[in-house]
Structure 1
């Protein structure tokens, strides 16, 4: 009878570990999937930036410094290795793209350009999708990190070497709460 009782307890413990481990794997995969969604939107924005620069160059040639900076930020953002660097560069790129879009107020011909207006519309749509993807990703990171940091799943997470994921913070001065 004691053997059956110990066997049942062992079976329950193994089942609990399996359930916790599978939950951690699912949460980690959700984070990866959510990052993929962000990456798709960033790639779409990166693909539109050269077109935007080319469209504006014809109308606002003396805004060259801004246009060169946008191209440089795009290149650096695409090559960024860490999530923190990528987020900072993407924040700077978004600010500069907004500056370029604001040039239409100074250049009526640019405002009338169908190509520029289409690019502007596409960029606004991408920014909306990016904002949603970023919120979804950060929610997935929060869920994974909660699982990793709460008992009893933290025991399985430590044993299986699960690490906390990093939030995507765009812009400066947005440190994680301690």
Structure 2
């Protein structure tokens, strides 16, 4: 006959295993949730980055058709677009955004001297669209950074720190662009009071 203490002991062990297992599963599920928030936040930014790429491609095509651009200026815009396309991390994307702003600034100075108002208007419309997308990226960037901060803090806290590393949950990178990248694009003055001598800068 099986000893009653043996049965009770077995039941206690099984219950303990179930409770610990459920606790570990709950910890894991929370890690997954905060990690997915980061991924979703970046996916929202990625959609806008693709829209910006489309706008930049249209800008390059319009510039080629509308103006007799210097090869160096056009290559700057193309290179900025390609740099943005190659960007895979928040840091690389921040650098690409800075390159885009620089190229657009040089474009504005060149467009000021162009004799065709319609060409300038088409370029300005595209730049307005890019500026609008940049504002949306800035908004989504805040959400992304909040998600990253929450995730990075969680995986360093007890008891999550015990599971995070072995289960592959590592810190995500904050979207931290240069100061000039966070400045608003002043589309109202893009084509006014430009100094042609600054085009070479």
TM category, shorter: 0.7 to 0.9
Q: TM-score, normalised by structure 1?
A: 0.78
Instruction: Give the Cα separation in 2 of the matches to 1:76 and 1:130.
Output: 17
Q: Partner of 1:160 in structure 2?
A: 167
Asked whether 1:136 is paired with 2:169, we answer no
Q: How many residues align?
A: 174
Instruction: Give the Cα separation in 2 of the matches to 1:95 and 1:101.
Output: 10
Q: Partner of 2:107 in structure 1?
A: 100
Q: CA deviation at 1:147?
A: 1.2
Instruction: Give the Cα separation in 1 of the matches to 2:111 and 2:83.
Output: 26
Q: Which moved more, 1:104-113 or 1:43-52?
A: 104-113
Q: Partner of 1:146 in structure 2?
A: 153
Gaps of 5+ in 1: 174-178
Instruction: Give the Cα separation in 1 of the matches to 2:145 and 2:161.
Output: 20
Alignment counterpart, residue 26 of structure 2, candidates 8, 13, 19: 19
Instruction: Give the Cα separation in 1 of the matches to 2:61 and 2:29.
Output: 49
Instruction: Give the Cα separation in 1 of the matches to 2:173 and 2:95.
Output: 14
Alignment counterpart, residue 115 of structure 1, candidates 107, 117, 122: 122
Q: RMSD of the alignment, in Å?
A: 3.0
CA contact (8 A) 1:59 1:107 kept: no
Q: TM-score, normalised by structure 2?
A: 0.71
CA contact (8 A) 2:55 2:130 kept: yes
Asked whether 1:76 is paired with 2:83, we answer yes
Instruction: Give the Cα separation in 1 of the matches to 2:145 and 2:97.
Output: 16
Q: CA deviation at 1:70?
A: 1.4
Q: Which moved more, 1:77-86 or 1:3-12?
A: 3-12
Secondary structure at 1:167 match in 2: coil
Secondary structure at 2:155 match in 1: helix
Q: CA deviation at 1:75?
A: 1.1
Residues 112-143 of structure 1, C-alpha deviations (whole Å, 9 max, x = no match): 84423321221121011111121111111111
Residues 81-139 of structure 1, C-alpha deviations (whole Å, 9 max, x = no match): 44433332232223323443465555574588442332122112101111112111111
Q: Which moved more, 1:164-173 or 1:102-111?
A: 102-111
Asked whether 1:39 is paired with 2:83, we answer no
Instruction: Give the Cα separation in 2 of the matches to 1:151 and 1:111.
Output: 62
Q: CA deviation at 1:36?
A: 1.2
